[in-house]
Structure 1
């Protein structure tokens, strides 16, 4: 049985800013099995959690601030309110631009994992393209791995990996069970260029998904921007994954 598929609600952020409940209902109507929140415009985590539950939408993870310092309580309470045990965040390009900066980033990620662990939660990293550029002759993420605690997991954004340069299938094979969540996107694989619905771009999605193998627990569709109507792209992406037996939904 293929992994279930969720929608990263950031994909429909402009609609969500106007009517969050409508976007969540639409996600369920399309057939997605889950949602990954990235903010709660016009509502609260508590209300959102009740809405997700009423629609039988699971929450495999949530994009939240790093749970360190003053953010710690907010992140833990938010994750608990929406019913997820996985907190996901990341850091910027400058934080991965030198070996010293990468070590600093690893320390922050390790601190985040330690902060949520007592609450039965885990912390993971969502990548962009800059984590897969070369730094002093090595891929930044390879350096990062040397300094990360083993409990820190990866939410691999396969599109941004390919934009950075490496083959995302190879990255997943190397990470193995440290990559339980995949962010799926498609498009021309260029920086600052609109994406497409899944199956209409240059990412070998069947190959990438196969490389994730049994380690993958969830597929999460996320389109940062799109050359066509975003709602239609979200619908087409779901249909592509389910019709090709790559993911399963609630429908």
Structure 2
């Protein structure tokens, strides 16, 4: 069976800042099975969770600060309110990926947070951009990252940014296997500066990506950081493309 389709709500951040509830309702009406949270403008995690439940939306995962330091209890309370297991670090210490020691420092921070997550029934994951694939001469930042990260930390593979960095998302999915339960699906020209487009309208080979992850993918999560067209239309067209192509499962 095809994996269910969720939307990373960061995609609609401008609309959510205007009206969180109306925006989420529109996502549900499109047919999305779930959402991935990225903040709660104008509302609270508890109220957002009720809204999601009322609309029949599952919480696939949550982009969140790490549950350490002063924010530890806040983060844990948010995850509990959402009744969500997958806590995803959206990015961490970008400037550290230019050296082996720097990457190891990032891994140490994530490994520490992972222990807190496990103690509280959560699974910690990491979402990549392009800088995690920096060439370090004799090695690549991504290789150091994978080698020094706790093996039970999963990856939410952003397929677009991986390809933009010059790496095959299909090969990465095959290499990482069960460590990639979540795939970020987006499309566009695969340049750092170029605007993204609806899934199916750019250069990404989305069918090959989805096929590569069939054995382990739990969610296909649409995300557009920015868009060359109207964002809401692109979100709906992305959903329609995945469903009509038989690549993902929706509610409509």
TM-score normalised by length of structure 1: 0.98
Q: RMSD between aligned alpha carbons?
A: 0.9
Q: Which residue of 2 is the match for residue 214 of structure 1?
A: 215
**1:53 and 1:95 mapped to 2: Cα distance?**
39
Structure 1 residues 70-79 or 159-168, which shifts more? 70-79
* 1:219 CA drift (Å): 0.4
**2:138 and 2:237 mapped to 1: Cα distance?**
39
* Number of equivalent positions: 251
Residues 52-105 of structure 1: CA distance to partner in whole angstroms, max 9, x if unpaired? 111111111100112211121111110111121010012143121110000000
Tell me whether 1:60 sits opposite 2:60 in the alignment: yes
Which structure 2 residues correspond to residues 1-251 of structure 1 after superposition, within 5 A? Answer: 1-89=1-89, 90-251=91-252
* 1:208 CA drift (Å): 0.9
Q: Is the contact made by 1:99 and 1:136 (CA closer than 8 Å) also made in structure 2?
A: no
Q: Is the contact made by 1:133 and 1:165 (CA closer than 8 Å) also made in structure 2?
A: no
SS at match of 1:182: strand
Q: Is the contact made by 2:93 and 2:106 (CA closer than 8 Å) also made in structure 1?
A: no
SS at match of 2:249: coil
**1:117 and 1:210 mapped to 2: Cα distance?**
30
Q: Gapped runs of 5+ residues in structure 1?
A: none
